[in-house]
Structure 1
Amino acid sequence: MTDTATEKATDTATDTATENQTGYLADTRTGLPMPAEPVFDSVDDARRHHKQRLAAALRLFGKYGYGEGISGHISVRDPGDEDRFWVNPFGVSFSRVRVRDLILVDGQGRVVSGRHRVNPSAFVIHSAIHRARPDAVAAAHGHTPYSRALGALGRLLEPVDQESAAFYGDQVFYSAYEGPSISVAQGQDIAAELGGRRAMLLRHHGLITVGGSVDEAVHWFFTYEGAAQVQLLAAAAGRPQPMSHEQALAARQGFGDRQLGWFSFQLLWDEITAEQPDLLEE
């Protein structure tokens, strides 16, 4: 075959591949047909959106059994004041929270909007994370069983499947347990140890995940808890075979994608708002 013929054949193959690709792949980093995150015209619109997502996330925690008495909280930074964040109220079940129940807490731990009190643990942990991490618009914390079990073993997630690889090199183990997290100093230490990572597993305590939105942070929480369950089941049945470094990086590129994390929550949003529309009451 001549050089010209070879070039034509290559061009034809490239054109065919491009045509085939555009038929099923979207213009995103993962190649999936995902929309972009919403952009708002006003602070009020952004605040309402964040609060609705937060209430939905709390109901999802309730639905999937992530409640443990008064423990557990999810927060989102207020779009109009970066020193304040919205969080679930103290003493209200995840399964009962509505938008109108959410409270706004300032940098000193005062409730500046809302009729309920703030969980001291929620203040010291979330205020420190939001202050240390400008990119962490939201943070989720819970005392879920599989994460607690993994923490009791002193282990982080291993890349035993695609979902767990989302946290490959992006998680940290916190072992400095000093009792319930109610001191400002302990909250600051947790935030410092978290660093720029998306997940922290706390020995004798639970799990924290963060993200650029409630949607993303909560998706990582669900994914981490599910991956912890898989790892524990696999270890109980035999000897799990983790991915190689190269495989884990390849899996993380897809399953650890921020836009994928955000979009995955939209399915949960549709699910919970259809089942429990009262959560949107303002």
Structure 2
Amino acid sequence: MTTTERFVDGVRLAPRDLPPLPTPAEFATVEEERAHRKQKLAGALRLFGRFGFGEGVAGHITVRDPEFPDHFWVNPFGRSFRHMRVRDLVLVDHDGDVVYGDQPVNRAAFVLHSAIHQARPDVVAAAHSHSPYGKAFSSLGIPLAPLTQDACTFYGDHAVVADQGGAVVLDPEAGRQVAAGLGPHKAAIHQNHGLFTVGRTLDEAVFWFLSLERSCQAQLTAMAAGEPIQVRHEWAAYTAEQNGTPWAGWFNFQPLWEEIRISDPDLFD
């Protein structure tokens, strides 16, 4: 043994080849992919409940069906986020009709999410709830500032939507206005209402929502304390390029998925 060699528990310390970072799963059949998306949806709704995003019957997450892309799975109206199970989820078409399941759907969920899914074929999932800091921040009618590394994830990739702000969105045309305001971005701050996020995977959409909510909290806290200093444009743009990709959103959700699937195994029922 040379003097430079080191061992821990009998294992020689040396650089080693590691497996590549994981990527979203691929599936052999649409049935497998459908089951996976529904499991992730039930788990994501439970996480929303765990983070205190429930506000009575408000809030919804949708995920596109892999076989019928003009249909999406959504949580039923008036059911607790914290106790959502795979078997509770319902499938609706773009006319708002329930085609699978026996529970009603929030009309606002249909109007907003249907419009977003129709306007954005790239969107597989969309998330919205009346989260406390998102609601508070939306009343300011301003974009999120690049105050932190996390906030820079949304730099140049979110919109402030004033149309229908504060109103219950029940008319399809109102939903289309909100979808148009979102544009090509991954997130929207709907004035006097709250936050919307989208993604190419459910994991991505849900993590963006969680991160945007916390970034709103951080900015409100900083503004209450003084005059926040913003990250320089070139640094904010670089951080957005590195941390704001669909894969980054998906990957950041994986620890949360591990937590909920282990702690709440009944979500798979």
Contact 2:164–2:174, Cα closer than 8 Å, also in 1 = no
Contact 1:34–1:260, Cα closer than 8 Å, also in 2 = no
Deviation at 1:270, TM superposition (A): 0.7
Residues 24/264 of structure 1: CA separation in 2 closer, same or farther (3 Å cut): farther
1:140-162 CA-to-partner distances (Å, cap 9, x unmatched) read 01111111111111221111111
The 3-state SS of whatever aligns with 1:223 is helix
Tell me which amino acid in the other structure corresponds to 2:27.
F
Deviation at 1:34, TM superposition (A): 2.4
For normalisation by structure 1, the TM-score amounts to 0.87
Tell me which amino acid in the other structure corresponds to 1:245.
H
The 3-state SS of whatever aligns with 2:231 is coil
Residues 26/141 of structure 1: CA separation in 2 closer, same or farther (3 Å cut): farther
Distance 2:89 2:16 in 1: 41
Residues 155-170 of structure 1 aligned to structure 2 (within 5 Å): 155-170=142-157
**1:239 counterpart residue number:** 227
Are residue 261 (structure 1) and residue 224 (structure 2) matched? no
Tell me which amino acid in the other structure corresponds to 1:101.
D
Distance 1:250 1:81 in 2: 37
**1:60 counterpart residue number:** 47
Tell me which amino acid in the other structure corresponds to 2:24.
E
1:27-66 CA-to-partner distances (Å, cap 9, x unmatched) read 9xxxxx5211111000000100000000000000000100
1:237-267 CA-to-partner distances (Å, cap 9, x unmatched) read 1111111110101111222122111011111
The 3-state SS of whatever aligns with 1:163 is helix
1:11-40 CA-to-partner distances (Å, cap 9, x unmatched) read xxxxxxxxxxxx59989xxxxx52111110
How much identity, in percent, do the aligned residues show?
49
Are residue 174 (structure 1) and residue 161 (structure 2) matched? yes
Contact 1:150–1:156, Cα closer than 8 Å, also in 2 = no
Give the unaligned 5+ runs of structure 1.
1-22, 28-32
Q: Find the partner of 1:277 among 257, 265, 268.
A: 265
Contact 1:157–1:228, Cα closer than 8 Å, also in 2 = yes
Deviation at 1:115, TM superposition (A): 1.4
Deviation at 1:83, TM superposition (A): 0.8
Contact 2:163–2:177, Cα closer than 8 Å, also in 1 = no
Distance 2:18 2:175 in 1: 41
Are residue 115 (structure 1) and residue 102 (structure 2) matched? yes
Higher-Rg structure is: 1
Segments of 4+ moved more than 4 angstroms:
23-27
Contact 1:147–1:228, Cα closer than 8 Å, also in 2 = yes
Distance 1:200 1:47 in 2: 27
- CA root-mean-square deviation: 1.5
For normalisation by structure 2, the TM-score amounts to 0.91
Tell me which amino acid in the other structure corresponds to 2:193.
H
Give the length in aligned residue pairs: 254
Give the unaligned 5+ runs of structure 2.
1-14
Contact 2:157–2:185, Cα closer than 8 Å, also in 1 = yes
Distance 1:96 1:37 in 2: 26
Deviation at 1:116, TM superposition (A): 0.5
Residues 38/26 of structure 1: CA separation in 2 closer, same or farther (3 Å cut): same
Distance 1:274 1:137 in 2: 25
**2:30 counterpart residue number:** 43
